[in-house]
Structure 1
Amino acid sequence: MPRSDTRHPRPVWSFREYAPVGVDLGSAAAVAAYDGNQGTDPAADDALLDRLGVTAGTRLIDLACGTGSLVVQAARRGAQAHGVDVSEQMLRHAEARAERLDAAPHWHLAGFLDYAHTAGPADVVTTRSALHQLPDFWKQQALVNAAAMLRPGGTFYLWDVVFSFDPADTDARLQHWIDASGTDGGFTRSDYETHVREEFSTYAWVLEGMLERAGLTIVSRAFPRPTHAEYVCARR
Structure 2
Amino acid sequence: MLARDWYYTERRRLGIDSAVASLYDRHDNSDRRANAALTMLGVKKGWHVADIGCGNGVLACEAASMGAEVDAIDISPAMLALADILARDRKVKIRTQFAGLLSFAYQPNSYDLIVSEFALHHLPDFWKAVALSRIFNALKPGSNFYLRDIVFVGMPDAVDRDVEGWADFSIKNHEFDRESVITHMRDEYSTFSWVIERMLTDAGFQTVSADYHAPLHGTYLLRKPKAGEQS
| TM-score normalised by L of structure 1 | 0.89
1:13 to 6, 19, 26: 6
1:143 to 132, 140, 150: 132
Match of 1:3 in 2: none
Q: Deviations over 1:198-228 (max 9, x none)?
A: 1100011111111112111111111102321
Query: 1:182-201 maps to which residues of 2 (within 5 A)?
Result: 182-184=171-173, 186-201=175-190
Which amino acid is the alignment partner of residue 188 of structure 1?
D
Aligned residues: 223
Which structure 1 residue ranges, 5 or more long, are not aligned?
Answer: 1-9
Matches of 1:44 and 1:33, distance apart in 2: 17
Between 1 and 2, higher relative CO (CA 8 Å, sep ≥ 6) is seen in 1
Deviation at 1:184, TM superposition (A): 4.1
Matches of 1:186 and 1:14, distance apart in 2: 35
- 2:71 is paired with a residue whose SS is strand
Deviation at 1:84, TM superposition (A): 0.7
Matches of 1:192 and 1:44, distance apart in 2: 23
Matches of 2:189 and 2:161, distance apart in 1: 19
Matches of 2:108 and 2:65, distance apart in 1: 19
Q: Percent identity?
A: 34
Which amino acid is the alignment partner of residue 182 of structure 2?
E
Match of 1:71 in 2: 60
Which amino acid is the alignment partner of residue 80 of structure 1?
E
Deviation at 1:62, TM superposition (A): 0.8
- 2:10 is paired with a residue whose SS is coil
- 1:117 is paired with a residue whose SS is coil
Match of 1:211 in 2: 200
1:171 is the counterpart of 2:160: yes
Which amino acid is the alignment partner of residue 99 of structure 1?
R
Contact 2:208 2:222 in 1 (8 A): yes
Which amino acid is the alignment partner of residue 22 of structure 2?
A
Which amino acid is the alignment partner of residue 87 of structure 1?
S
Deviation at 1:11, TM superposition (A): 1.1
1:53 is the counterpart of 2:42: yes
Deviation at 1:176, TM superposition (A): 1.1
How has the CA–CA distance of structure 1 residues 141 and 70 changed in structure 2, closer, same or farther, with 3 Å as cutoff? same
Matches of 1:185 and 1:161, distance apart in 2: 12
1:225 to 209, 214, 218: 214
Contact 2:169 2:215 in 1 (8 A): no
Which amino acid is the alignment partner of residue 72 of structure 1?
C
| TM-score normalised by L of structure 2 | 0.91
Matches of 2:28 and 2:147, distance apart in 1: 17
Match of 2:228 in 1: none
